Structure formats: C-alpha cells, structure tokens
C-alpha cells in the first residue's frame, strides 16, 4: 500500500516479503480479527450461551445463582455460558458471527420503552430460536427493567451504600431512591440521579461496582430478611425460565 501526495492509500496488490513480523495496519488487521474471534470463542462461548448486556449482568447472575444453589434451590444450569453482547443492537451481529457452529444461543436483555421496536424486530428476525429472547421486565412487576431490578430496593440500597462507602449523611435509602428520578421505574437510573445531586467530589455511579462488590461479598444474600428472600424468588423464576430454554446440543 502506497500513500500519494494527497494522503490517499493506493492498493499495490499482494507482496511476499521476508520481514514476516511486519506490523503495518494492512497485515495486522486480518490477524487481529481472527485473534479476536478465537478469543471470543475460547473465553465466552459455550455450546449453550446466554447473551446479556454487559459484565455487571454476569456478576449479578452468578451471585444470585450461587446463593440459590447454596440453599438447595434452582440456580442457573452450569452448562450455560453467560456472554456480554453489548445490547439489543449487537445481538443479531453476534449470532451471525457464530452461525454454523451448532450453538444453542438465547438472549436476556434489559428493557426500556424506547427498545420496544428493536425487541420486536429482533424477534421477527428469528435469529434466535422461538422464545429465546427474554427481558428482565418479564420477571419483575414493572414495564421497564434492568438486571438490578431483580434486587429488592432495600437490598439494592445496602449494596450501593457499602460498595461506594457512602457516609451516613449521604447514604441511599428506599425513599431517596424512589424520589431521585420519578420519571423512571429503573433502579439504576434512579441511583444515577441520586449520585448526580450528591455534594462536591461525589463518586460517579456505574453499573459494575455494585455488582463486583456483591459477588465479592456473597454473605449479603444470606438470611431470611424479606429484601433477600424476595430478590432470590425473582432470580429463581428467571433461572427456571432460562434453564427451560436450554437445547439438546451435547
């Protein structure tokens, strides 16, 4: 590839060279693509794969499943591999990438009203098997939902307060959470709004830190408090639904 006086790249065809470790952009790009594909297959893909929004979904599901299994209840079937896909927009491309590999792939998505058309279009595309696209809103008593909405509000506040080490005078509670943003039912959006009005030097709220804290502190899900048991009841229904979709691929 040559560069002309106007900085345009001019193809010069295939050339055989002795410097096999050349790292120019044209020679490296195909290798990067192949390597990325191979890594994705190795790290995230199994015969039975659940596509989720992002890493925090994986951590919450792992934590909730582990506690349910510890109690002798239904957790996520260990044959499922949970893979972050980046959202509804990327599911079709992801499934197409691995088409022909004889994989059993379903998807679990967050849901907001603005996603309704995307959700229906994805279902009509039949890129996933019938019934293979679920949303968190299917398992909670609200129209819009993220993975965090499986968690009872009181328990969610405890997780957020401890994860961020919020001082008592700035701690989140269910009243503050509800009032933080009355235009949404989604706890994540409410928490974001709450953090936005904290005093100077406030932390920035993100989805990952509370999920990471929870999986590192599994005893938070012990006991029989209503906030814990109601959370586990919702999670169990989710895992039962996901497990029922697992195909017969060996």
pTM score: 0.80
- The pLDDT of residue 218 is 97
- The pLDDT of residue 4 is 52
Cβ-contact 108, 134 below 8 angstroms: yes
Token pair, residue 84, equals 């972050």
Cβ-contact 204, 195 below 8 angstroms: yes
Flag residues of the chain having pLDDT under 50: 2, 17-43
Token pair, residue 158, equals 């405890």
- The pLDDT of residue 21 is 37
Compute the C-alpha angle 149/61/115, nearest 5°. 50
Q: Among residues 243, 244, 240, 235, which one has the least CA distance to residue 136?
A: 235
Domain spans of the chain, in order of start: 44-244
- The pLDDT of residue 19 is 43
The residues pairing with 27 across neighbouring beta strands, listed in sequence order, are none
pLDDT tens, residue by residue, 196-221 = 999 877 788 998 999 999 999 999 99
Residue 223: how many other CB atoms lie within 10 Å: 9
Torsion of CA 27, 30, 33, 37, to 10 degrees: -130
The residues, ordered by sequence, that sit 6+ positions from 100 with a Cβ below 8 Å of its Cβ are none
- The pLDDT of residue 28 is 42
């Amino acid at each position: 590839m040559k560069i002309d006086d106007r900085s345009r790249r001019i193809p010069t065809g295939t050339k055989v060279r002795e410097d096999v470790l050349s790292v120019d952009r044209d020679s490296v790009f195909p290798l990067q693509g192949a390597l990325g594909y191979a890594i994705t297959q190795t790290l995230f893909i199994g015969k039975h794969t659940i596509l989720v929004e992002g890493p925090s979904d994986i951590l919450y599901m792992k934590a909730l499943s582990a506690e349910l299994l510890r109690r002798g209840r239904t957790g996520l079937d260990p044959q499922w591999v949970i893979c972050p896909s980046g959202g509804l927009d990327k599911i079709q491309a992801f499934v197409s990438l691995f088409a022909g590999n004889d994989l059993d792939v379903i998807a679990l998505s967050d849901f907001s009203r603005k996603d309704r058309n995307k959700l229906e279009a994805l279902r009509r595309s039949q890129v996933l098997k019938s019934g293979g696209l679920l949303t968190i809103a299917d398992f909670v008593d609200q129209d819009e939902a993220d993975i965090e909405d499986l968690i009872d509000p009181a328990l969610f506040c405890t997780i957020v307060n401890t994860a961020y080490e919020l001082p008592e005078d700035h701690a989140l509670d269910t009243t503050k959470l509800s009032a933080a943003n009355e235009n949404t039912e989604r706890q994540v959006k409410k928490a974001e709004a709450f953090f936005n009005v904290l005093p100077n030097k406030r932390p920035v709220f993100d989805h990952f830190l509370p999920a990471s804290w929870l999986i590192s502190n599994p005893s938070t899900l012990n006991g029989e408090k209503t906030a814990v048991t109601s959370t586990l009841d919702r999670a169990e229904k989710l895992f039962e639904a996901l497990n029922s979709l697992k195909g017969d691929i060996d």
